[in-house]
Amino acid sequence: MQKILIIDDEPALRQTLGAILKRSGYNPVLAGTGQEGLKKLEGDSFSLIFLDIKLPDVMGVDLLPKISQIDPDLPVIILTAHATLDAAIQAVRGGARDFLLKPIDPKTIIERVGQILEENKEPQRQREIISQVQNLLAELHSPDVSNHQTDVSQPQATDSDAARFLSCGVIKADLHTQHIEIEGEVVPIPPSSFGYLVTLMRHSPEAVSFEALVKESQGFDCSRKEASDITRWHIHKIRRALEQDSSDPQHLITVRDFGYRLVG
């Protein structure tokens, strides 16, 4: 059973959400304060966290960096009774995967949990197969294999291949599995940031505005300031995947006061 940590100071909500998750086959663990939640997180392994935006001892968004330090790949769903755009942007910028309103709708909760957990399998699967893929690539480029293949006609690229793969210089994106390769090496990237990279690849080498990045990658409109805040976290994750030194990017370039452009 996948463990889900619920950090919320409302006892009724904790119990209700825990019961909903338990009926759906998950193992809920409850905490009423931020410090209690961090202690449970440090002592156990979880698949997902529900985090109240306002706790008695700390603001939920202030816990996001600490959660990321403990487990960088752990998805967090923010819960709040008073949604504002600023709060949503701050939560996303801090690394939250989603932002849901109280009172909770059981069907929505279970559907979103299932989607996020399925999405989160991708980086784990990528890490598991990276060494296998690299070994396979090494075998394919070995002298014995190369000599053997000289007498065999190479398969032609198909229309389905063209629809599946997107290339930009040394960067290649698999739109089906949502992983990227750089010079043939598989590199993990968070699923939530993959769409931003694909948008930049499709427009490369042209610059893409903050607003266009959010619109094309996530499907909603916002102001330039709001879009700049939303994209910042995703750009940070993409640079960690692409750049040898993310402080001196060579591929993903900032266009001041406008957006970003990708150079393959």
Predicted confidence (pLDDT) per residue in 239-250, tens digit:
888 888 877 888
Looking at the domain assignment, is residue 153 inside a domain? no
Crossing angle of helices 224-242 and 191-203, rounded to 10°: 100
Residue 165 lies in domain: 161-264
Q: How far apart are CA 207 and CA 254, in angstroms?
A: 9
Range with the largest mean pLDDT of 27-31, 65-69, 91-95? 27-31
Residues 43-91 have pLDDT tens digits of 899 999 999 988 999 988 889 989 988 888 899 998 887 656 566 667 7
Q: Could you give the C-alpha distances from 178 to 119, 121, 162, 212, 246, in angstroms and in order?
A: 10, 11, 15, 21, 21
Query: Which of 52, 84, 117 marks a domain boundary?
Result: 117
Q: How far apart are CA 135 and CA 45, in angstroms?
A: 30
Query: Which of 56, 84, 117 marks a domain boundary?
Result: 117
Query: Which of 58, 93, 117 marks a domain boundary?
Result: 117
In which band, very low, low, confident or very high, does the pLDDT at 155 lie, cut at 50, 70 and 90?
Answer: very low
Q: What are the tokens at 47? A: 């698949």
Q: Residue 176 sits in a domain of what CATH number? A: 1.10.10.10
In which band, very low, low, confident or very high, does the pLDDT at 8 lie, cut at 50, 70 and 90?
Answer: very high
- What is the pTM assigned to this prediction? 0.51
Same domain, 104 and 166: no
Q: How far apart are CA 135 and CA 222, in angstroms?
A: 44
Same domain, 13 and 97: yes
Looking at the domain assignment, is residue 224 inside a domain? yes
In the chain, the N- to C-terminal Cα span, in Å, equals 42
Same domain, 72 and 177: no
pLDDT of residue 145: 44
Looking at the domain assignment, is residue 134 inside a domain? no
DSSP β-ladder status, 259-262 and 252-255: antiparallel
